[in-house]
C-alpha cells in the first residue's frame, strides 16, 4: 500500500508483537529492568500485569531475547490448559520425551529430574507464561508447586506470569493465597504519555526504514496520543490508518485531520473524539 510512497522497508505499525520494534520507554523499560534484576537475584515467582494492548506479549518476547547464557527458557503462550496439560507443555518446552504420558506424578517427576539435570550443567530454568489470568485454579496450583524446585541457596526454576489486571483480582482469593505469597516482584504496565507516544512513533518509523522521523506533524502526534490513550496497540492501529489516509491524498506527511479520519473509522478510537472533531474529520 504505502510502503514505497513513504520509503518504508516494512510496515511500521503492525499489530503483531515484533521484538525488532520494541521501544524501551518508561513503563516497559522499568518492567524489563525489574525482571532482569529479579532473575539475577534468583527470585522464584514474578508477575507483570497490564490492561489489554499495553504490550505484555512483546515485553515477554523481548525478555526472552535479553536472557543471557546460563538460562534455559520455556515459553507457554496458551493459557487454556488444565493442570496436566500445562505440565505436558512445560515438559515439551524443556525437551522431555513424554510420548502420550498423562499421569501427573510421572510428568512432575520428569520435570523435576530435567530441572535438576540442567542445574548440574549450570543452567537455571525460566518459565514465561502469557495470558496467565485465563489459567484455571488447578493449573495455577500446579505452577505453584514448580517453585518448590530449589536448593538450600536458591531457586532452580523461575516463573514469570504475564496477565491482565484480572490476574491480580484472582490472586486475592483465599484459595490462591499460597501462590500470591510466593510472588516476590510485581510490576504493572502503564499507558504511554503524549511525549512518549511521539518518541514511540519516531522509533517505529526509523526501524521500518523511514528517513523522515517527523513524518507525523506535532499536532498529529498529539492527536494520536489523545485518541489512543497511550495504549501501544491502539497507537499502532491509529497510526497505520492515518498513514493510509495520508497516502490516499498523496500527502508526504501525516497531519491532524488524517489522524481524526483514522479514529473516526475505528470503533475503539472514536469514543475519544468530540463531536466537533468528528465533523472536522470528514472532507
What pLDDT score was predicted for residue 281? 44
Q: Are 58 and 27 in contact (CB under 8 A)?
A: no
Do both 165 and 216 map to the same domain?
Answer: no
Determine the length of the chain.
283
Do both 143 and 72 map to the same domain?
Answer: yes
66 C-beta neighbours (distance < 10 Å), count: 12
Residue 150 DSSP class: B
Cell of 202: 519516531
What pLDDT score was predicted for residue 156? 85
21 within some domain: no
Backbone φ, ψ for residue 208 (5° rounding):
-75, -5
Residues 6+ apart with CB under 8 A from 91: 98, 107, 110, 111, 114
Do both 271 and 142 map to the same domain?
Answer: no
CATH at residue 206 = 1.10.8
CA dihedral 16, 76, 190, 215 (to 10 degrees): -20
What pLDDT score was predicted for residue 275? 42
Query: Which residues span the domain enclosing 249?
Result: 3-16+193-280
What pLDDT score was predicted for residue 268? 82
Using DSSP bridges, classify how beta strands 124-129 and 45-49 pair: parallel, antiparallel or unpaired. unpaired
What pLDDT score was predicted for residue 277? 52
Share of the chain above pLDDT 90, in %: 75
Backbone φ, ψ for residue 163 (5° rounding):
-160, 170
What pLDDT score was predicted for residue 274? 58
Beta bridge partners of 128: 75, 160
What pLDDT score was predicted for residue 183? 93
Q: How do residues 1-27 score in pLDDT, each as one tens digit?
A: 889 999 999 999 999 999 999 998 888
Do both 166 and 206 map to the same domain?
Answer: no
Do both 84 and 175 map to the same domain?
Answer: yes
Q: How do residues 69-111 score in pLDDT, each as one tens digit?
A: 789 999 999 888 899 999 999 999 999 988 877 788 889 999 9
The CA distance from 6 to 20, in Å, is 20
Burial class (CB in 10 A: 0-12, 13-18, 19+), 141: middle
Q: Are 191 and 25 in contact (CB under 8 A)?
A: no
Mean pLDDT by 10 residues, the chain (283 residues): 92 94 90 92 91 94 88 91 92 88 86 92 93 94 86 83 95 93 93 95 96 94 93 96 95 94 86 53 42
What pLDDT score was predicted for residue 147? 83
Tally of domains within the chain: 2
Q: Are 164 and 133 in contact (CB under 8 A)?
A: yes
Do both 68 and 82 map to the same domain?
Answer: yes
**CA-wise closest residue to 242 among 226, 157, 189:** 226
Domain boundary among 188, 216, 241: 188
Do both 67 and 198 map to the same domain?
Answer: no
Do both 238 and 176 map to the same domain?
Answer: no
The CA distance from 208 to 3, in Å, is 9
Do both 120 and 207 map to the same domain?
Answer: no
45 C-beta neighbours (distance < 10 Å), count: 23
Do both 51 and 11 map to the same domain?
Answer: no
Amino acid at each position: 500500500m504505502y510502503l514505497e510512497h513513504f520509503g518504508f522497508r516494512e510496515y511500521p505499525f503492525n499489530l503483531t508483537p515484533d521484538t525488532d520494534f520494541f521501544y524501551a520507554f518508561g513503563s516497559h523499560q522499568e518492567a524489563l529492568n525489574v525482571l532482569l534484576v529479579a532473575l539475577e537475584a534468583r527470585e522464584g515467582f514474578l508477575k507483570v500485569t497490564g490492561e489489554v494492548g499495553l504490550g505484555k506479549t512483546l515485553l515477554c518476547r523481548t525478555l526472552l531475547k535479553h536472557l543471557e547464557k546460563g538460562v534455559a527458557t520455556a515459553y507457554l503462550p496458551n493459557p487454556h490448559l488444565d493442570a496436566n496439560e500445562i505440565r505436558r507443555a512445560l515438559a515439551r518446552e524443556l525437551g522431555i520425551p513424554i510420548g502420550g504420558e498423562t499421569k501427573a506424578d510421572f510428568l512432575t517427576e520428569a520435570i523435576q529430574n530435567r530441572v535438576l539435570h540442567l542445574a548440574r550443567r549450570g543452567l537455571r530454568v525460566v518459565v514465561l507464561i502469557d495470558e496467565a489470568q485465563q489459567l484455571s485454579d488447578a493449573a495455577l496450583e500446579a505452577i505453584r508447586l514448580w517453585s518448590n524446585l530449589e536448593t538450600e541457596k536458591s531457586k532452580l526454576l523461575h516463573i514469570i506470569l504475564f496477565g491482565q489486571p484480572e490476574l491480580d483480582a484472582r490472586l486475592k482469593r483465599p484459595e490462591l493465597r499460597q501462590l500470591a505469597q510466593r510472588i516476590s516482584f510485581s510490576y504493572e504496565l502503564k499507558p504511554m504519555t503524549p511525549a512518549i507516544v511521539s518518541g514511540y512513533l519516531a522509533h517505529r518509523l526509523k526501524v521500518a526504514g523511514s528517513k523522515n522521523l517527523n513524518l507525523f506533524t506535532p499536532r498529529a502526534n498529539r492527536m494520536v496520543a489523545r485518541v489512543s490513550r497511550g495504549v501501544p496497540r491502539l497507537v499502532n492501529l491509529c497510526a497505520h490508518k492515518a498513514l493510509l489516509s495520508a497516502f490516499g491524498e498523496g500527502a508526504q506527511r501525516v497531519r491532524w485531520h488524517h489522524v481524526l479520519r483514522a479514529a473516526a473509522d475505528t470503533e475503539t478510537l472514536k469514543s475519544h473524539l468530540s463531536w466537533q472533531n468528528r465533523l472536522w474529520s470528514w472532507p
